[in-house]
Chain A
């Protein structure tokens, strides 16, 4: 108990802050912050496994998040039958060609010794394959994109409940990570960072521009929800009764019946959106807790010990007979898969998939700030980092506004400096993140909750 005092204190303060937002701003805002904090926590756990356990830098978080989101779309959207009949066969054939191409490359890689000729053969296979695939897929893609472009214009998905996408998102992200890991993990730390950053940009470019698969920048809206819809809730009796019970003290003060009804309606509308958010919070909490238990178990298992050994001294671990390359690949895939889950969760919560919104600032660098600030190598720290940083990211605008008003109190409201500063309040979040990161790295390089390893 004593040892964990700082953990408990940190989490209590964090929850207290969110509750304060609920009291002073609104419960709606507080809950949406809380939900995104949970999603961020999942992402940081993924990044933390890679960086904290194994010392791998992965700046491709944005790519895995987007793939998770793509999984949500592909799982939950109903299939577009016309599109499938228009160009489905071409797409499937192209898919077969891609598989064939990969198998051919693998065959050449296995069969022949490393030589210049082999490199040329592989290059020829890939270039010829790409050209053939383009010719095969082009008519199909055009046909698909012409099917009712304002509403669909893509193949759609499988029409399954969106919850499944959380697993599929993990598989997608893990698969991508496997490919990236195979080719890039041998690189030095900073090269790996740059390579993963650029690969994630390629992934985003593909998701943005392959309209037949993702609708691209036209976005996919109105995804199915795992939680009830507000509109339906507002008409169910048990929910109205529940809201009435909760607010009975306030409602009893109003004597006039019509006014009372109006007030009740207001409460029901507010209550319904809070209720929906609470449903999401419950789902997300379950994911976070499951992941936390698993990662904690892994951290203290022999496997976790081995990972730390590899992180701290690769050569020594190698000499002890540990397969460093294989373990690096494994942990790279695992961490990315967790990020993929978070990506699917994010799209599930928003109910829409907007490829244009995936930007490295928000989905890669911010997550890294969370990991560093929270404490790399410590799962509780990583989750806390997700909470603290996301909270500040959202609340920095009000805080910034308050600070601006405080410092420019002497100036008139129309003074150009004051007007300008108030207009640029949204950018104070970057300043706050940057200064926060620099201060933490300088004075508490291990994060708020540092890694502490005890043998159990």
Chain B
């Protein structure tokens, strides 16, 4: 019985939250990796682009709520997301046309493009804050829990409860669908294959008649989809605050690089690596050991490897270690 309790404890506090957080990071990391692989620069505006997408989602959600449209137990935001994506893709293409295109055409070094993306970051951040303000917004509605801790206890007769939020399930399901569609697209369709070819060797791809304009446009469209969905899922699960989104850029970068930048599958796994290590290293295992060990051996400290204050620092340390020992990332392999 104690063993099951211990396992449920870990499931409740580590596995489920890490899986949801990891999925959110993974979407962002694929976004970073796609931009890096095809447009060849580190996009420092990542977090703010995600917050822009989330903002549009929230605005649509409010609009639908005012019209009285809802999905019952599911959050209204799910209907808002497709509309937000259209908006977001438009914004991305607009930015590309007026900002990034010039540098791409004149073949500027990647560093310059990264600097330009900082300009985009400032502008996007300003737009988001001017439109929706800097404060915390919750836009979740519908049923909050799929399984409540109390119900779970009653059902199984265990001491430990397992609470699963519906947003966590939605996050994981949506991520899986989205990512598998994306991999299918990249690996099976002609456009996807030409994207990979372009990422692998630009000149060769151009020689074989691949249209770079189309590739770039599709990249931005996919990026817009990923940014909006990733951002909206994070906002549904936690809450929407522009500053948090800006900060999320850092673990997202970490995930993308740990997974091997330019490699979408690596980025996908990298998100989970970062999320799990953050939560595993900062969780206090006292209760876990109390279930497993006999009373005489029970720990009297928290058995916490690092205090939760260092949550972000964990992912950054992993990144630094990976950069030092395997600069090409854990899941090295073909480019894109």
Using a CB–CB cutoff of 8 Å, the interface residues on chain A facing chain B are 57, 119, 183-184, 187-191, 193-195, 197-199, 201-202, 205-206, 208-209, 361, 365, 368-369, 372, 421, 423-424, 427-431, 433-435, 437-438, 441-442, 445
The answer to whether B123 touches A438, judged by C-beta atoms less than 8 angstroms apart, is yes
Tell me which of B41, B115, B316 contacts A202 (CB under 8 A).
B316
The answer to whether B119 touches A191, judged by C-beta atoms less than 8 angstroms apart, is no
How would residues 253 to 281 of chain B score, 1 for a CB under 8 Å from any chain A CB and 0 otherwise? 11001000000000000000000000000
> Whole-angstrom distance from the CB of B245 to the nearest CB of chain A?
12
Provide the residues of chain A in CB contact with B185, threshold 8 Å: none
Provide the residues of chain B in CB contact with A430, threshold 8 Å: 122-123, 125-126, 129
> Whole-angstrom distance from the CB of A118 to the nearest CB of chain B?
12
Q: B71 near A: Cβ within 8 Å?
A: no
Provide the residues of chain B in CB contact with A438, threshold 8 Å: 99, 116, 119-120, 123
* Residue from B122, B134, B323 having most chain A Cβ neighbours under 10 A: B122
Tell me which of B112, B114, B250, B310 contacts A193 (CB under 8 A).
B114
Known: A197-B253, A202-B316. 10 other contacts (CB 8 A): A183-B324, A190-B42, A190-B111, A202-B312, A369-B122, A427-B126, A430-B123, A434-B126, A438-B116, A441-B115
Q: B130 near A: Cβ within 8 Å?
A: yes
Provide the residues of chain A in CB contact with B109, threshold 8 Å: 189
Provide the residues of chain B in CB contact with A433, threshold 8 Å: 122
In residues 108-152 of chain B, which contact A (Cβ within 8 Å)? 109-112, 114-116, 118-127, 129-130, 133-134
> Whole-angstrom distance from the CB of A211 to the nearest CB of chain B?
10
Provide the residues of chain B in CB contact with A369, threshold 8 Å: 118, 122
* Residue from B126, B309, B310 having most chain A Cβ neighbours under 10 A: B126
> Whole-angstrom distance from the CB of B177 to the nearest CB of chain A?
30
Q: B183 near A: Cβ within 8 Å?
A: no
The answer to whether B316 touches A199, judged by C-beta atoms less than 8 angstroms apart, is yes
> Whole-angstrom distance from the CB of B96 to the nearest CB of chain A?
13
The answer to whether B115 touches A205, judged by C-beta atoms less than 8 angstroms apart, is no
Provide the residues of chain B in CB contact with A197, threshold 8 Å: 250, 253
Q: B180 near A: Cβ within 8 Å?
A: no
The answer to whether A190 touches B41, judged by C-beta atoms less than 8 angstroms apart, is yes
The answer to whether A189 touches B116, judged by C-beta atoms less than 8 angstroms apart, is no
The 18 sampled A-B contact pairs (Cβ below 8 Å) are A183-B320, A183-B324, A188-B327, A194-B42, A195-B320, A195-B323, A198-B316, A202-B312, A208-B309, A361-B125, A365-B121, A369-B122, A424-B133, A428-B126, A430-B126, A431-B130, A434-B123, A438-B116
B interface residue count range (under 10 / 10 to 19 / 20 to 34 / 35 or more): 35 or more
Q: B65 near A: Cβ within 8 Å?
A: no
Q: B317 near A: Cβ within 8 Å?
A: yes
Q: How far is the CA of A191 from the CA of B253 in the complex (A)?
A: 10
Provide the residues of chain A in CB contact with B30, threshold 8 Å: none
Q: A190-B41, A195-B323, A201-B312 are in contact. Are A431 and B126 (CB under 8 A)?
A: yes
Smallest Cβ-Cβ distance to A210: which chain B residue? B309
Provide the residues of chain A in CB contact with B121, threshold 8 Å: 365, 434
> Whole-angstrom distance from the CB of B46 to the nearest CB of chain A?
11
Provide the residues of chain B in CB contact with A365, threshold 8 Å: 44, 118, 121-122
Smallest Cβ-Cβ distance to B324: which chain A residue? A183
Q: How far is the CA of A421 from the CA of B323 in the complex (A)?
A: 44
Q: A434-B119, A441-B119 are in contact. Are A421 and B130 (CB under 8 A)?
A: yes
> Whole-angstrom distance from the CB of A185 to the nearest CB of chain B?
11
Tell me which of B122, B124, B253, B309 contacts A198 (CB under 8 A).
B253
Provide the residues of chain B in CB contact with A205, threshold 8 Å: 309-310, 312-313
Tell me which of A194, A421, A431 contacts B122 (CB under 8 A).
A431
> Whole-angstrom distance from the CB of B125 to the nearest CB of chain A?
5
Q: B102 near A: Cβ within 8 Å?
A: yes
> Whole-angstrom distance from the CB of A150 to the nearest CB of chain B?
20
How would residues 86 to 116 of chain B score, 1 for a CB under 8 Å from any chain A CB and 0 otherwise? 0000000000000100100000011110111
Q: How far is the CA of A115 from the CA of B171 in the complex (A)?
A: 42
Q: How far is the CA of A184 from the CA of B253 in the complex (A)?
A: 16
The answer to whether B133 touches A431, judged by C-beta atoms less than 8 angstroms apart, is no
> Whole-angstrom distance from the CB of A381 to the nearest CB of chain B?
16
Q: A187-B327, A438-B123 are in contact. Are A428 and B254 (CB under 8 A)?
A: no
Q: B307 near A: Cβ within 8 Å?
A: yes
Q: B319 near A: Cβ within 8 Å?
A: yes
